[in-house]
Amino acid sequence: MFQSRTHNCNELRIGDAGKEVTLTGWYENLRKVSKNLGFLVLRDFYGSTQVVIESEEMMENLNGVNSESTLSVSGKVRERSSKNPDLPTGEIEVVPEKIEILGKCIYNELPFEIRRSTEADENMRLKYRYLDLRNPAVKDKIILRSRIVSSLRRAMEEHDFLEITTPILTCSSPEGARDYLVPSRLHAGKFYALPQAPQQFKQILMTSGFDRYFQIAPCFRDEDARADRSPGEFYQLDMEMAFASQEDVFAIIEDVLPPVFAEFGIYKSASKAPFKRIPYREALEKYGTDKPDLRIDLTLTDVSELFGDCGFEPFASGNEIRAVVVSGFEGSRKVIDKLCADVEVVSGAKPYWFKVGENGELAGGISKFLQERSAKIIETLGLSKDCFVGVSAGNRNQAYKTGGTLIKMLGELCPAHMKKETYEFCWIVDFPMYEIGEESGELEFCHNPFSMPQGGMDALINEDPLSILAWQYDLVCNGVELSSGAVRNHDPEIMIEAFKKVGLGEEDVKAKFPAMYNAFCYGAPPHAGIAPGVDRMVMLIAGCDSIREVIPFPMNKNAQDLMMGAPADVEQKQLDDVHIAVVLDEK
């Protein structure tokens, strides 16, 4: 039987005193003062209200009722004698005439205290996610997510984008991550794949004559978890524009995202258009990463010649050396040692350091190796008293990675060098079209294989592949990559030539991307797009350290749904239906 309520638990105010009301919600706790006096907190989705038990009979009716049971409370509102200014309903209380149990919690003990669930073990929280979500602090992040998505949807519609859903069951495609495969019952031995992204479908929509497309798209990738990446599935604000350039995409994103971040974010300011644009190679040289946090004013300096062959083995000839100069550094030796240890854990290589002492001399760390050239070092790097210099060394990639990690951690350590309470966006542009794969040693696409090379066919035929840049871009906010995007390669001839460079011929392209290739052969418009990650945006806006905090039902780090028990065994008949035999590795 449906239990009506006259008000929710966050609605009653002093002006409601004297009203007869019915509230429903969860029995959070009961503070017993005596056998005929107690204060019960009733909580629902909207908030909480104090219910005052003033009869021995009513108190006895609650004996044996466990907290988190659901109740219906009918009674009269009155003004509280002891008001709670921290509670929206803190000026009133309800004196019940009737309390009815709607749903029993049969357990005397909960896995964790609801309002302190975030302090519990993460796997325990995920197993009992329905209890974790009752915590107002956890619930509010999911409400925030809903409001952000709604705001994004409205903004895209205001820019004349049409929301179109694309298939979930599709074919396997080389998108750069492992597919989730779905066996076919009707076609033995064949498989569908869950889409890693709606990439091909949205490009085909452009060839179909749809001018502006978007969707809040589910994407599925069999990847390992990270703080900013959830395994299994995630959502992105997927968009594509016909007859569009890189500048057209930038203009839309720069108009849509900052107001959302400024309205809902824990920081109330965000970059205004145009966002700073940083070429990929400049980002690595200056910040040590293609995901710079522009709130930090620290940068890398190439000191390979200045520090090289000073007698310190890691600075031997052939190694790249980068320095980060931090003025006004006040960290103790203990702080420096911890910094270096943390940087090594993240970057995989040990950083080095020295300081400028009271008398302007180089001191501490590796300073003894640099004394003969100290004057030149001080002049070149513009050092003064209390400057700290962090140093990275190794091959170019390692020097960048360690140096970039130093910048990030020094920024967090030194408030004077980090304007924390803002959202700083930037575009990383001019990505290389190709690179030499670390594992294969062969030429590979650096990023998205569907990107248009800068210079088109002429560049592919006449330039060194490693010098060709792509019309490709990343959107970065506060050191987090929100999205990759590109001007797409819509010309079949240029597409075939681009794939030839990585050893795939015309027949390979036709076989791997038949629908898109064929569609392009019927006159495709130039088009471009991007797909900012919704989960990452909400994580930044909410100020969370883990993406799992803003997903209603996330998997754990091992790609397990502990609440539902997935992945799980299935019955043999189900396997037979889809022509699958399970063969386990012997260990």
pLDDT in tens, the chain (587 residues): 456 899 999 999 999 999 999 999 999 999 999 988 999 999 999 999 999 999 999 999 898 899 999 999 999 999 999 999 999 999 999 999 999 999 999 999 999 999 999 999 999 999 999 999 999 999 999 999 999 999 999 999 999 999 999 999 998 876 567 899 999 999 999 999 999 999 999 999 999 999 999 999 999 998 887 767 788 899 999 999 999 999 999 999 999 999 999 999 999 899 999 999 999 999 999 999 999 999 999 999 999 999 998 889 899 878 999 999 999 998 889 999 999 999 999 999 999 999 998 888 999 999 999 999 999 999 999 999 889 999 999 999 999 999 999 999 999 999 999 999 999 999 999 999 999 988 888 999 988 888 999 999 999 999 999 999 999 999 999 999 999 999 999 999 999 999 999 999 999 889 888 999 999 999 999 999 999 999 999 999 999 989 999 999 999 989 999 999 999 999 999 999 999 998 888 76
Q: Are strands 425-429 and 276-279 parallel, antiparallel or unpaired?
A: parallel
Residue 199 one-letter amino acid = Q
Q: Are 322 and 410 in contact (CB under 8 A)?
A: no
Closest CA to 30 of 89, 86, 71: 71
pTM: 0.91
DSSP state letter for 114: G
- Give start-end residues of each CATH 3.30.1360.30 domain in the chain: 296-418
What secondary structure does DSSP assign to 233-249, as a single string?
EEEEEEEEEET--HHHH
* pLDDT the model gives residue 3: 62
φ/ψ bin of 557: left (φ > 0), alpha (ψ from -120 to 50), beta (otherwise)? alpha
Which position has the token pair 């079949």? 492
What's the pLDDT score for residue 1? 43
3-state secondary structure of 372: helix
Query: Among 555, 536, 554, 551, which residue's Cα sits nearest to residue 237?
Result: 536
Structure tokens at 125: 């929280």
| CB of 179 closer than 8 Å to CB of 454 | no
The predicted pLDDT at position 176 comes to 65
**Could you tell me if 51 and 12 are in contact, meaning their C-beta atoms sit under 8 angstroms apart?**
no
Give residue 175's pLDDT: 58
Question: Which pair of structure tokens corresponds to residue 559?
Answer: 């790609």
All residues at 6 or more sequence positions from 556 whose CB lies less than 8 Å from its CB, including other chains = 122, 123, 126, 225, 548, 562
Largest CA distance in the chain: 92
Q: How far apart are CA 74 and CA 71, in angstroms?
A: 10
Query: Could you tell me the end-to-end alpha-carbon distance of the chain, in angstroms, rounded to an integer?
Result: 55
CB of 158 within 8 A of CB of 150? no
Amino acid making up residue 375: A
Q: How far is CA 258 from the centre of its chain?
A: 17
For residue 206, how many other CB atoms are within 10 A of its CB? 26
Going by C-beta distance under 8 Å and a sequence separation of 6 or more, which residues neighbour residue 347?
392, 398, 401, 402, 404, 405
The CATH homologous superfamily for domain 14-103 is: Nucleic acid-binding proteins (2.40.50.140)
Please give the helix or strand (H or E) that residue 480 lies within, else none: strand 480-487
The candidate with the shortest Cα–Cα distance to 97, out of 49, 57, 48, 47, is: 57
Pick among 3.90.190.20, 3.20.80.10, 3.30.1360.30, 3.40.50.300: CATH of 296-418: 3.30.1360.30
